[in-house]
Structure 1
């Protein structure tokens, strides 16, 4: 019936949409998840400074754009606060 075709085209649209995502979106997302895990397990606490951008790129073996994307996402979530030229810190998570 007509419902079947609607479902198919919707799935196709989703496939196209995910193909159009920035290549580093998945990478950034996994970095976000890893940082959130470190916060949850208490390895990173509020006020802790994250390693420098250069260090994080080496540690995580990712590109600068991916890292920036991840840090941006973390600050949107309110987990990280970036200080211009002064690195990124875990926020006071109360």
Structure 2
């Protein structure tokens, strides 16, 4: 194991979330709700795409190349419901650049 991120949330989307090291301290919101705050699906998408870019950087380094300075990654996370159960769907539109 390389790293474990730890958070604690109280009150769900109407509460607060904080990381064990205190670097993250937010009040989540519901998707489409008015007001400030981000929702868990946005945070999941940001983490997913950031992790993917990190993996692409490692892969590029192993290939003795590097990612282009403006390389980016996008992720879309859907909150879904079917049959009384909730689940997430993630899409990652492909886009990357490498310098050869």
* TM-score relative to the length of structure 2: 0.32
Structure in which a larger fraction of residues adopt strand: 2
Bigger fraction of residues in helix: 1
Query: RCO greater where, 1 or 2, for CA within 8 Å and sep 6 or more?
Result: 1
Larger Rg: 1
